[in-house]
Amino acid sequence: MSELRNILEESVARVFAEQVTNEFLSSVEETGWPQELWDTISELGIPQVLVDETRGGMSGTWADAYVVVRRCGYCCLPLPVPEAILAGWLAERASIGLPAGAAGILPHAVPASNISGDTLTAQISRVPWGRDADYFIGITTAQELVLVARDGVDITGEENLGQDPRDTVTFNQTPVVQRAPINLPADSIRWLCALLRSAQIAGASSRCLEIGVQYVGEREQFGRTLSRFQAIQHQLAVMAGSLATVEAMAASAFRTMDIHGIATDGRDAKFEIAAAKCRASDAVEPITRIGHQVHGAIGFTYEYGLHFLTRRLWAWRAEFGGSGEWAEYLGHIATQQGGDDIWGYITN
Amino acid sequence: MTAQTDALRFEPYELPQTLASLRAEVRTFLRAECTSFSAVHRSNSWDAYDAAFSRKLGERGWLGMTLPKAYGGHERGPLERYVVVEEVLAAGAPSGFHWIADRQSGPLLARYGTEEQKRTILPKITAGEACFCIGMSEPNSGSDLASLRTRAERSDDGWVVNGQKIWTSHAHQANYMIALVRTSPATDNRHEGLSQFLIELPTSGITCRPIKDLTGRAQFNEVFFEDAVIPHDALIGTEGAGWKQVVEELAFERSGPERYLSCYVLLSSLIDVIKDDASPASLRKIGSQIALLVALRNMSLSVAGMLNDGKDPGLQASVVKDVGCSFEQGLPELAQEIVDLEPTLAGHGIDYQQVLGNLVQLAPSFSLRGGTPEILRGIIARGLGLR
């Protein structure tokens, strides 16, 4: 593991563990955007992990970003830090400088026809933390990266199961403040957000397992701790196996981004990204089921806080394409290649 | 991350690009070789015994790849071997003759064998001329291996072995057995007093009786030892240290490409059956399994990387085997959900039906050989700090 990655993982883990407690998560559900934590994270430069050092970033790799994004999931971080990391990377690719503040990511390709002159008119749903964004960033079907002003947009607040904002943003001749060609497929944001979610699912799943292991070591029934029961041991071992598949696939997809990137044609990281999101989404069922089962009723209470993880897992599983969509993509590749050649495709 | 889940970490490990040419070379060779094998034969892959084919692999330098050159090996890295094994399994090439020797007996002997054992045996392994079997299980010692009772007693003529092994694959065809037996009486620590021996087959006093399995084939055996005398220098490693050596040996066994590729011929024939007219639901089912296969491959590679770096991935290897086993046992079921054709016996129906028929019957054995899920999950639970 690289030096940067170790330092990043340790510092991010420390800050998150200190700040993002269950009480904190409850309070954010009531009061919304935690500005102080956002400022702390911004000052540490975490959103700039993929930005070049010459522009104030860390010159990190996607493999470095993986440990940060995974940790965001692990802590249920109620802030769009994964999205900010992506925004930083996109801006670099288009040689655009980002303004200060939080980026609202437009999750789908924006039809080029919605841009007229230098304004955007469109209604876009499920924008993470749209209400708190200082500007919006998206890719058009004409492969342009656009930066859209915040002023004058209309926002309808909605949340996902994890109570994180997923807002509908209505742009009405809203100024496009910067635009530049970007050599990426128009739907890249969807692909890359799916990649981010796979890492967040890995993180949250790993925490679920840890909490479960801790709980069964403390809780006693029939005169012994639950951890002494083989039925419980085996359930957690199965959960650990599911978790391992998620982690291994997600980490590999991030690494493949470093090697091949994402492209309009040719070998790129799409196959691995699809496999990572598909696997992560498929694993949410056993992980949340076992995670809750070993806790008994206490895990179902609001106060205990397991739900901060599991509600997000249920939301992330479907965000940016659930298992079905990504599996269908992989299935198409398999049938196009045929039984013999799919192996060559996997090992290429 | 706590220490417990940290122990379950799978660092990504990429095969070096330099191995691409080796892979291509092996693949080209196998394409030509395997055209003569039927699909149902290929679905037996690492169980199918074919001495001639193993010799051909040996001639090309693809067996015993990691063994020292001084003993006929090639001193290539474990990752090069990994690539060869992947290709051999994906092609369904018959590997039963050399499988045990190449995977575990060769490395075990290279590490613990005497100079004489290494000098005489390792060259045969690399040439594909030595078939090994594993003498571990006994009638009353399955998962509880340390309870085994076959014993070897030192005499002037050599070690005198008495007892019985069972479920010993290929024993009736093998040239050698590596047997784990008791060399001193059981104490409170049952892991003490066990030793490994290299036993030539046939040897007077050793009788193999093949056991017919549910498919009608007889691949595994009962092996009886009745005052069988084996030489003093048949001992492998240290007398009494057999348990430690076996545990290391099993780490080789638990995490290789065979953990996700032993049903690959079924997956590929399933894809071919539906490829021209696949419903979205079928595509989803197949795609989901491919994601799991690729995830398992990444896990297995990660373990190979840890072995390459001299780390001890015993826990991760158990996870690979447990998850891999569920995956492989699930494939015949998945196939039947997607294509509603009857599984058939060899020689009847289309290739896909024959492969399915074979693997439906073999699938129960996947979770019995080399550590059951019950044992593996116990190991994983211990790694999680639960026991």
- Residues from chain B that touch A324, judged by Cβ atoms under 8 A, are 284
In a shared domain, residues A177 and A196: no
A135, A99 in Cβ contact below 8 A? yes
Q: Give the number of other CB atoms < 10 A from CB of residue B77.
A: 15
Give B32's contacts (C-beta < 8 A, 6+ positions apart).
none
Which domain CATH number covers A63? 1.10.540.10
Within the 298-337 window of chain B, which residues sit less than 8 Å (CB to CB) from chain A? 298-299, 302, 316, 319, 322-323, 326
Return the pLDDT at B2. 55
- State how far the Cα of A106 lies from the Cα of A190, in Å rounded to an integer: 9
- pLDDT, mean over chain A: 96
Yes or no, beta carbons of A335 and B1 under 8 Å apart: no
Question: Pick from A210, A216, A248: which is nearest to B2 by CB?
Answer: A210
Q: Bridge-partner residues for B224, per DSSP?
A: B164, B207
CA angle B50, B79, B171 (to 5 degrees): 30
In a shared domain, residues A177 and A201: no
* Mean pLDDT in residue range A131-149: 98
Residues of chain B with CATH 1.10.540.10: 3-130
A85, A68 in Cβ contact below 8 A? yes
Judge whether A165 lies within some domain: yes
Amino acid (one-letter) located at B265: V
Return the pLDDT at B1. 45
Helices and strands (H, E) in chain B, number of each type: 15, 8
Minimal CA separation from A335 to chain B, in Å: 5
- State how far the Cα of B236 lies from the Cα of B116, in Å rounded to an integer: 11
C-alpha B295, offset from chain centre: 20
- State how far the Cα of B67 lies from the Cα of A95, in Å rounded to an integer: 52
Taking the Cβ of residue B178 and every Cβ of chain A, the question of whether any pair is shorter than 8 Å is answered with no
Return the pLDDT at B124. 98
Structure tokens belonging to residue B205: 């006093």
Yes or no, beta carbons of B12 and A251 under 8 Å apart: yes
Crossing angle of helices B242-254 and B314-338, rounded to 10°: 40
Strand spans (E) along chain A: 103-105, 115-116, 119-128, 135-139, 144-149, 154-156, 166-181, 220-221, 224-225
Judge whether A86 lies within some domain: no
Last residue of a domain, one of A183, A203, A235: A183
Sole residue written with tokens 């060869």: B84
Return the pLDDT at B29. 97
CA angle B233, B237, B239 (to 5 degrees): 80
In which element (H, E) is residue A264 found? none
In a shared domain, residues A176 and A128: yes
Return the pLDDT at B283. 98
- State how far the Cα of A71 lies from the Cα of A239, in Å rounded to an integer: 19
Yes or no, beta carbons of B287 and A240 under 8 Å apart: no
Query: How confident is the model over B275-307, as pLDDT tens digits?
Result: 999 999 999 999 999 999 999 999 999 998 888
Judge whether A37 lies within some domain: yes
Q: Output the pTM of the full model.
A: 0.96
B304, B320 in Cβ contact below 8 A? no
Judge whether A15 lies within some domain: yes
Which domain CATH number covers A170? 2.40.110.10
Taking the Cβ of residue B381 and every Cβ of chain A, the question of whether any pair is shorter than 8 Å is answered with yes
| CB neighbour class for A116 (10 Å; exposed up to 12, middle 13-18, buried from 19) | exposed
Taking the Cβ of residue B284 and every Cβ of chain A, the question of whether any pair is shorter than 8 Å is answered with yes
Yes or no, beta carbons of B291 and A324 under 8 Å apart: no
Return the pLDDT at B312. 83
Residues of chain B with CATH 2.40.110.10: 134-242
Taking the Cβ of residue B69 and every Cβ of chain A, the question of whether any pair is shorter than 8 Å is answered with no
- State how far the Cα of B186 lies from the Cα of B242, in Å rounded to an integer: 13
Q: Bridge-partner residues for B236, per DSSP?
A: B196
ipTM of the complex: 0.97
Q: Number of structural domains, chain A?
A: 3
- State how far the Cα of A251 lies from the Cα of B374, in Å rounded to an integer: 28
- State how far the Cα of B363 lies from the Cα of B348, in Å rounded to an integer: 20
Q: Bridge-partner residues for B199, per DSSP?
A: B177
Within the 330-359 window of chain B, which residues sit less than 8 Å (CB to CB) from chain A? none
Structural domain span for residue A50: 1-79
In a shared domain, residues A167 and A215: no
Yes or no, beta carbons of B384 and A213 under 8 Å apart: yes
Residues of chain B with CATH 1.20.140.10: 255-383
Yes or no, beta carbons of B386 and A232 under 8 Å apart: yes
CA dihedral B70, B76, B81, B87 (to 10 degrees): -120
- Residues from chain A that touch B274, judged by Cβ atoms under 8 A, are 335
Closest-approach residue (CA) in chain A for B87: A343
Question: Which CATH topology does B134-242 take?
Answer: Butyryl-CoA Dehydrogenase, subunit A; domain 2 (2.40.110)
Structure tokens belonging to residue B7: 């122990």
Return the pLDDT at A19. 96
Yes or no, beta carbons of B298 and A249 under 8 Å apart: yes
- Residues from chain B that touch A206, judged by Cβ atoms under 8 A, are 1, 5
CA dihedral A167, A171, A177, A178 (to 10 degrees): 70
Return the pLDDT at B307. 83
Query: How confident is the model over A100-114, as pLDDT tens digits?
Result: 999 999 999 999 999
SS3 A332: helix
Return the pLDDT at B4. 61
Q: What percent of chain A has pLDDT over 90?
A: 96
Judge whether A88 lies within some domain: no
Yes or no, beta carbons of B268 and A330 under 8 Å apart: no
Judge whether A139 lies within some domain: yes
Total length of chain A: 348
Minimal CA separation from B221 to chain A, in Å: 31
In a shared domain, residues A158 and A235: no
In a shared domain, residues A325 and A309: yes
Q: In chain B, what is the greatest distance between 2 CA atoms, to the nearest angstrom?
A: 72
Question: Pick from B296, B374, B386: which is nearest to A216 by CB?
Answer: B386
Question: Pick from A236, A241, A274: which is nearest to B386 by CB?
Answer: A236
Yes or no, beta carbons of B296 and A245 under 8 Å apart: yes
From B109, B89, B76, select the one nearest B252 (Cα to Cα).
Answer: B109
Closest-approach residue (CA) in chain B for A210: B5
Yes or no, beta carbons of A328 and B297 under 8 Å apart: no
Taking the Cβ of residue A234 and every Cβ of chain B, the question of whether any pair is shorter than 8 Å is answered with yes
CB pairs under 8 A between A and B: 186
SS3 A274: helix
Amino acid (one-letter) located at A317: R
A144, A112 in Cβ contact below 8 A? yes
Residue A198 has pLDDT above 70, yes or no: yes
From A57, A145, A160, A66, select the one nearest A109 (Cα to Cα).
Answer: A145
Q: Bridge-partner residues for A300, per DSSP?
A: none
* Mean pLDDT in residue range A129-157: 97
A47, A41 in Cβ contact below 8 A? yes
- Residues from chain A that touch B267, judged by Cβ atoms under 8 A, are 339
Q: Bridge-partner residues for A176, per DSSP?
A: A148
In a shared domain, residues A153 and A241: no
User: Within 13 Å and on the Cβ side, how many CA atoms surround A118?
Assistant: 8
Judge whether A87 lies within some domain: no
From B254, B320, B274, select the one nearest B293 (Cα to Cα).
Answer: B320
CATH number for region B255-383: 1.20.140.10
Peptide bond into B202 cis (omega under 30): yes
From A314, A335, A320, select the one nearest A277 (Cα to Cα).
Answer: A320
Q: For B56-73, give one letter per residue: b (16+ CB within 10 A) or e.
A: bbbeeebbbbbbeeebbb
In a shared domain, residues A179 and A65: no
Residue A230 has pLDDT above 70, yes or no: yes
Taking the Cβ of residue B34 and every Cβ of chain A, the question of whether any pair is shorter than 8 Å is answered with no
CATH 3.40.109.10 fits B3-130, yes or no: no
What's the Cα-to-Cα distance from B309 to each of A69, A201, B126, rounded to whole Å? 27, 29, 23
Yes or no, beta carbons of B298 and A329 under 8 Å apart: no
B140, B95 in Cβ contact below 8 A? no
In a shared domain, residues A33 and A102: no
Sole residue written with tokens 């060779």: B29
Amino acid (one-letter) located at B289: Q
Yes or no, beta carbons of A237 and B381 under 8 Å apart: yes
- State how far the Cα of A317 lies from the Cα of B387, in Å rounded to an integer: 32
- State how far the Cα of B55 lies from the Cα of B62, in Å rounded to an integer: 10
Peptide bond into B185 cis (omega under 30): no
Judge whether A90 lies within some domain: no
Which domain CATH number covers A234? 1.20.140.10
- State how far the Cα of A277 lies from the Cα of A250, in Å rounded to an integer: 8
Yes or no, beta carbons of A331 and B1 under 8 Å apart: no
Return the pLDDT at A1. 58
Within the 261-280 window of chain A, which residues sit less than 8 Å (CB to CB) from chain B? 272, 274-276, 278-279
Average pLDDT per 10 consecutive residues for chain B, totaling 387 residues: 67 88 97 92 89 98 96 93 96 96 96 97 98 96 94 97 97 98 94 97 98 95 98 97 90 83 94 96 98 97 87 90 96 96 95 96 91 94 94
**Which DSSP category does B195 fall into?**
E
In a shared domain, residues A23 and A39: yes
In a shared domain, residues A254 and A300: yes
- Residues from chain A that touch B387, judged by Cβ atoms under 8 A, are 227-228, 233
**Which DSSP category does B342 fall into?**
-
Last residue of a domain, one of A183, A209, A228: A183
Yes or no, beta carbons of A251 and B11 under 8 Å apart: yes
In a shared domain, residues A55 and A198: no
- With residues binned 3-state (H G I as helix, E B as strand, rest as coil), the percentages for chain B, rounded to 5, are 50, 15, 35
- Residues from chain B that touch A217, judged by Cβ atoms under 8 A, are 385-386
Minimal CA separation from B125 to chain A, in Å: 28
